[in-house]
């Protein structure tokens, strides 16, 4: 089966104040961590599974994650660039020798690594190229030193610019950077300055995120004490409209709420998340989805992840994804993209999977048909409501439901009008039994 592979490298030398990703500053677990990642890769191979000959439930639940055929590879974090070149090489070559590849060739894959600007020099970038990385995602966030300090980033504008120039020199011709906007104290002029540098280097891809203040972060704690607050909606919208106007002017395609690319440079890896394709997450806290009705969550502790892999103990939990949840996720992802979605695509996407027989299909048996009919009924009644009351926000209703670009930022509002409330459909486990 085809999978996009995500590897979570959780180590960070310093925590950014807005960040709620799973991360660790405890580098003493790093040596065991790379061993554990290698072990996890082995876990998804036939050879290893036959060797185990285990009949326990944990092992059976691995169903749907065997015989990995890789579509793309993405090393994210945390800070993947905090690993040594030797460790990065170990991870990539383990995948090379244990997985097969879409189109038969490792060299045709999109292989991305997230970089912190201060971690790389020309030598490091050149070595990344020879290991096989062909795409960079550099976490710049802002070219303004005052703002980066406020966000508690480690780097400054000089190291960001150096990082881009070195990457180009090393031969990277597919570079993405992250920028954040909507930061308290940031002006439109500040943001224009960031975008101008992005345009100056003619980079292929931009991920631009509105700052979101999450509870479990330093900013979240400050917000509770009234020391910081979100910017107001009018200003948020001004930032967003400015962003899309500038990106359009420079020929970038706005293909997802936060993502822009030059033609031919959409992120293949991220696009697979938005279309409900299967992906395999390796490393602590990483999620996986088998493209059917199962999702897995790796344990969120580096110490335990290393230990469990070392001793062949269960290192993840599995969750069943009902038809109804699959519907909701399809809407949530689809409405944030330029393409939108078709109900027919959803029908083809829905999967039923038996927990113990390892059986996956999407046929609509007499038992499953009523569930699908409920979904269709709910969808068309929500669609009529949208047509009647929110026609201005939509580019088209049928065959594809697509929001206008100006409204992506508030897509959550329209998503809420379409998705099913869990209370509306008895129980997530119900359609597992039929």
Distance CA 399, CA 93 (A): 44
Binding characters for ligand SF4, 127-146, by CB under 6 A (x = yes): ------------x-------
Token pair in block for residue 161:
């610019």
Name the nearest CA neighbour of 7 among 166, 157, 113. 113
Instruction: Please check whether residue 63 is in contact with residue 294, taking contact to mean a CB–CB distance below 8 angstroms.
Output: yes
Which of 5, 7, 9, 12 forms a contact with ligand SF4 (CB under 6 A)? Answer: 12
Minimum CB–partner distance for residue 216 and ligand SF4 (Å): 12
Distance CA 228, CA 257 (A): 25
CA 318, 322, 324, 328: dihedral to nearest 10 degrees?
30
SS3 of 320, please? strand
Which segment (18-26, 192-200, 203-211, 402-410) binds ligand SF4 by CB under 6 A? 18-26
Tell me: does residue 64 bind ligand SF4 (CB under 6 A): no
Instruction: Please check whether residue 269 is in contact with residue 74, taking contact to mean a CB–CB distance below 8 angstroms.
Output: yes
Q: Specify the residue, 116 or 176, whose C-beta has the smaller distance to ligand SF4.
A: 116
Which of 5, 7, 19, 309 forms a contact with ligand SF4 (CB under 6 A)? Answer: 19
Tell me: does residue 351 bind ligand SF4 (CB under 6 A): no
Distance CA 164, CA 301 (A): 33
Name the nearest CA neighbour of 386 among 408, 403, 409. 403
Q: Specify the residue, 302 or 321, whose C-beta has the smaller distance to ligand SF4.
A: 302
Token pair in block for residue 87:
């460790």
Q: Specify the residue, 82 or 326, whose C-beta has the smaller distance to ligand SF4.
A: 82
Alpha helices, H only, 264-392: 268-274, 302-310, 323-334, 343-349, 369-389
For ligand SF4, how many residues bind (rule: CB under 6 A)? Answer: 11
Among all chains, which residue has been given the structure tokens 């806290």? Answer: 285
Tell me: does residue 418 bind ligand SF4 (CB under 6 A): no
Which segment (16-24, 118-126, 230-238, 328-336) binds ligand SF4 by CB under 6 A? 16-24
Which segment (8-16, 37-45, 245-253, 330-338) binds ligand SF4 by CB under 6 A? 8-16
Minimum CB–partner distance for residue 93 and ligand SF4 (Å): 25
Distance CA 138, CA 205 (A): 10
> Within 10 Å of residue 258's Cβ, how many Cβ atoms?
17
Binding characters for ligand SF4, 76-115, by CB under 6 A (x = yes): -xxx------------------------------------
Which segment (13-21, 100-108, 186-194, 235-243) binds ligand SF4 by CB under 6 A? 13-21
Per-position DSSP letters for 246-260, written without gaps between them:
HHHHTT-EEEETTEE
Binding characters for ligand SF4, 20-39, by CB under 6 A (x = yes): -x-x----------------
CA distances from 106 to 93, 132, 249 (A): 10, 9, 36
Q: Specify the residue, 78 or 283, whose C-beta has the smaller distance to ligand SF4.
A: 78
Tell me: does residue 284 bind ligand SF4 (CB under 6 A): no
Q: Specify the residue, 137 or 290, whose C-beta has the smaller distance to ligand SF4.
A: 137
Residues that bind ligand SF4 (CB under 6 A): 12, 15-16, 19, 21, 23, 77-79, 116, 139
């Amino acid at each position: 089966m085809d999978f996009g592979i995500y590897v979570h490298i959780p180590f960070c030398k310093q925590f950014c104040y807005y960040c709620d990703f799973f991360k660790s500053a405890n580098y003493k677990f790093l040596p065991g961590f790379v061993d554990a990642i290698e072990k996890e890769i082995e876990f998804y191979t036939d050879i290893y599974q036959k060797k185990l000959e285990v009949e326990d439930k944990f092992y059976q639940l691995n169903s749907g994650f065997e015989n990995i055929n890789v579509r793309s590879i993405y090393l994210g974090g945390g800070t993947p660039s905090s690993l040594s070149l030797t460790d990065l090489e170990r991870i990539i070559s383990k995948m090379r020798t244990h997985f097969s590849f879409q189109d038969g060739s490792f060299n045709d894959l999109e292989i991305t690594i997230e970089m912190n600007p201060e971690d790389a020099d020309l030598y490091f970038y050149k070595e990344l190229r020879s290991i096989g990385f062909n795409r960079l995602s550099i976490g710049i966030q802002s070219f303004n030193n005052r703002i980066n300090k406020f966000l508690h980033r480690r780097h400054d504008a000089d190291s960001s610019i150096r990082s881009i120039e070195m990457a180009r020199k090393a031969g990277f011709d597919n570079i993405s950077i992250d920028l954040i906007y909507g930061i308290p104290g940031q002006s439109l002029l500040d943001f224009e300055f960031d975008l101008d540098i992005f345009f100056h280097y003619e980079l292929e891809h931009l991920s631009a995120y509105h700052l979101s203040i999450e509870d479990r972060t330093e900013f979240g704690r400050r917000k509770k004490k009234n020391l910081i607050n979100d910017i107001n909606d009018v200003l948020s919208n001004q930032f967003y409209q400015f962003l899309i106007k500038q990106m359009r002017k420079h020929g970038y395609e706005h293909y997802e709420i936060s993502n822009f690319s030059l033609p031919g440079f959409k992120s293949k890896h991220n696009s697979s998340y938005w279309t409900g394709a299967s992906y395999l997450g390796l490393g602590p806290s990483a999620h996986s989805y088998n493209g059917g009705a199962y999702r897995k969550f790796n344990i969120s502790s580096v110490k335990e992840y290393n230990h469990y892999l070392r001793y062949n103990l269960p290192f993840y939990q599995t969750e069943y994804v009902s038809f109804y949840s699959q519907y909701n996720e399809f809407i949530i992802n689809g409405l944030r993209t330029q393409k939108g979605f078709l109900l027919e695509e959803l029908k083809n996407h829905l999967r039923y999977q038996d927990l113990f027989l390892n059986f996956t299909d999407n046929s609509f048996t007499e038992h499953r048909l009523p569930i699908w009919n409920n979904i269709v009924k709910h969808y068309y009644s929500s669609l009529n409501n949208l047509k009647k009351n929110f026609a201005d926000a939509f580019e088209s209703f049928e065959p594809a439901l697509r929001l206008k670009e100006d409204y992506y930022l508030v897509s959550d509002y329209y998503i809420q009008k379409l998705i099913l409330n869990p209370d509306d459909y008895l129980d997530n486990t119900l359609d597992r039994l039929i």
